[in-house]
Amino acid sequence: MGEAAVALACLPLANAGVATKVTAESEVRAAVQMLIDGWREADARKVEAVLHPQARLVTLRRNPEDMQTDTPERMLTIIRQLKPGNWDDRLRDVEIRVDDTGLATLWARYEFFIDGERSHCGRVLFQLYRLEGAWKVVNFADTHSPAHCT
């Protein structure tokens, strides 16, 4: 079998790998979107479905000494007190990385609106694990950085 034939024979395998990566990336994006939709819709069930019970949520505010950490329980309590539309988190310049071990990250710029008014913006990083066939957010970190607002 010539080199060209071998290359053509391997092409379906290479395409399968690309398709699997694209599928995993879209699943990661969908999991993060479900979390954000849960915030926007004030739907604690959506948030709970994608947020791992032992997740860690960390926010670094303008002052580096002003770091806030939250638990999933506290986040769900806050979500249950919201009304639909109170929170609106808008991601852009999204970058997703997925590893075949079941680890993924989603990094993006974001703008966060409260009751239709921009509250803050910055960078956000979600770390996810594929557990029991579903992507779960296990770590969430963001910054509040006025310099990154557009």
Q: What fold is seen in the domain 3-148?
A: Nuclear Transport Factor 2; Chain: A, (3.10.450)
Q: How sure is the predictor about 65, in pLDDT bands with cuts at 50, 70 and 90?
A: confident
Domain positions in the chain are 3-148
Q: State pLDDT tens for residues 4-16.
A: 554 545 555 555 4
Average pLDDT of span 107-125:
94
The share of the chain scoring above pLDDT 70, in percent, equals: 83
Average pLDDT of span 27-49:
97
Quote the CA–CA distance of 24 and 102 in Å, as a whole number. Answer: 9
Q: Can you give the pTM of this predicted structure? A: 0.82
The kind and range of the H/E element at 45 are helix 44-50
The counts of H helices and E strands in the chain are: 3, 6
Higher pLDDT, 148 or 117: 117
Q: State pLDDT tens for residues 73-83.
A: 999 999 999 99
